[in-house]
Amino acid sequence: MKGIKTAGILFLLLIVASGSIFAGGGGQSGGQQDGKVYEFSLGSAYDGKAPPFLAGVKFAEDVKAATGGKVIINTFSNSALGTEREQFIAVAADELEFTVGGILTVDMYCPEYGFLAAPYLYKNMAHIRAVMDSPIGAKMKERLKANNVNLIGVNYRGERHTSSNRPIRTPADVRGLKIRMTEMPSWVAIWGAGGLGGTTVPIVLGELYSSLQTGVVEASEGPYEQLATYKLYEVQKYLINTGHVKEWCGLYASEKMLASLPAEYRKIIEEKAVSCMTDYGSKLAEEKAGEFRAELLKGGMEEINIDPVVFTNAVQTVYERFFRETWTASTFAEIQGFAR
């Protein structure tokens, strides 16, 4: 496979997804049930206990039940099928049928919509949901689909916070901080030298714990769920409630695969994606956030609250540059107009 690089992963997918190799390509687009059994794979870089992945598991179970066992989706967590980026590439290449992943897809396939994942830009989860439910969100999804990456179920994962081995209370405290950061240009700019003044280091999730343990980096960011499931309380002293990203993630599918299915099966998949990811998954993420936060504090982390407005004001010049040069699908004023 082009997107998932190791031979071991390739062999695993060929075995598990053999049903899709033989059945998926022969589906009758727009037709009725054809009696075939379709067997697909759903991968994720998220931990097996993460609410978005659990929503993906429920999606697989519900699709199997609704199709009478004619569509079987095998689920794999913890980067078993490759890194998040590799899985997105594989879906785009029609080499992986489904992935539950984050907002890296925006920068990969439609960077003009990068504001949908920008740190310190949204006031609350209702704010980002309003933008995603607007024509702006709909157009972004069309851009993804044009790259064969169909966002069939949006999951509202919650806020991302910061863990660190030094206290952070003001933007000045970020200067010189070595922080693990996903490879999104706007995130690197906002947290890095041109923004808050930290040093961003790209590290895959599977190597995060060891990188913090050995001092390769001294801080990270993510939802309470990520910080807890990766046991960062064992290697991080402070939990800083930055709430810098109001995060959505989602269930992505290969559009070519969906188009090859009988119409009834495609409809079931799309309906279950919404009911499981958007409805069930978002509620589960909200309910579990408090539990994961409590786990971090029980593990010994010291909690610090910050004033997000101060941090937002500190990166205004970064926003201005990105809306001018890259985020051309909207404006700062238009996005702020969706605030609730």
**pTM, 2 dp:** 0.85
Average pLDDT, the chain: 91
Task: Flag the least confident range among 20-34, 106-120, 181-195, 281-295.
Answer: 20-34
Tell me which residue of 225, 201, 196, 223 sits closest to 212, measured CA to CA: 201
The answer, yes or no, to whether residue 29 has pLDDT greater than 70, is no
Buried b (16+ CB within 10 A) or exposed e, 228-264: bbbebbebbebbbebbbbbbbbbbbbbbbbbebbbee
Pairing label, strands 98-101, 178-180: unpaired
User: pLDDT class for 32, splitting at 50, 70, 90?
Assistant: low
276: its two tokens: 């499981």
One-letter amino acid for residue 160 of the chain: R
Residue with more model confidence, 26 or 48: 48
Rounded-to-integer distance, Cα 26 and Cα 32, Å? 13
% of the chain exceeding 70 in pLDDT = 90
pLDDT tens-digit map of 207-255: 999 999 999 999 999 999 999 999 999 999 999 999 999 999 999 999 9
Report the range of poorest mean pLDDT among 130-134, 202-206, 214-218, 314-318.
Answer: 202-206
Q: What is the pLDDT of residue 33?
A: 65
Angle at Cα 52 formed by Cα 50 and Cα 56, nearest 5°? 115
pLDDT value for 262 = 97
- Across the range 39-52, mean pLDDT stands at 95
Q: Is pLDDT of 1 > 80?
A: no
Packing angle of the helix pair 135-145, 125-132 (nearest 10 deg): 60
Judge whether residue 23 has pLDDT over 70.
Answer: no
* 160 neighbors 243 (Cβ within 8 angstroms): yes
pLDDT at 126 (0 to 100) = 96
Kindly report the three-state secondary structure assignment for every residue of 161-215.
EEEECCCCCCHHHHCCCEEECCCCHHHHHHHCCCCCCCEEECCCHHHHHHHHHHC
Between 31 and 229, residue with greater pLDDT? 229
> Rounded distance, CA 198 to CA 296, Å?
24
Dihedral (CA of 150, 154, 157, 160) sign: positive
Strands 38-44 and 71-76, sheet pairing: parallel
Beta bridge partners of 222: 161
Q: What average pLDDT score do residues 38-48 get?
A: 96
Q: Indicate whether 20 pLDDT > 60.
A: no
Predicted confidence band of residue 184 (pLDDT cuts 50, 70, 90): confident
> Are residues 114 and 185 in contact, defined by beta-carbon separation less than 8 angstroms?
yes
More reliable by pLDDT, 340 or 265: 265
- For domain 7-330, give the CATH superfamily: Bacterial extracellular solute-binding protein, family 7 (3.40.190.170)
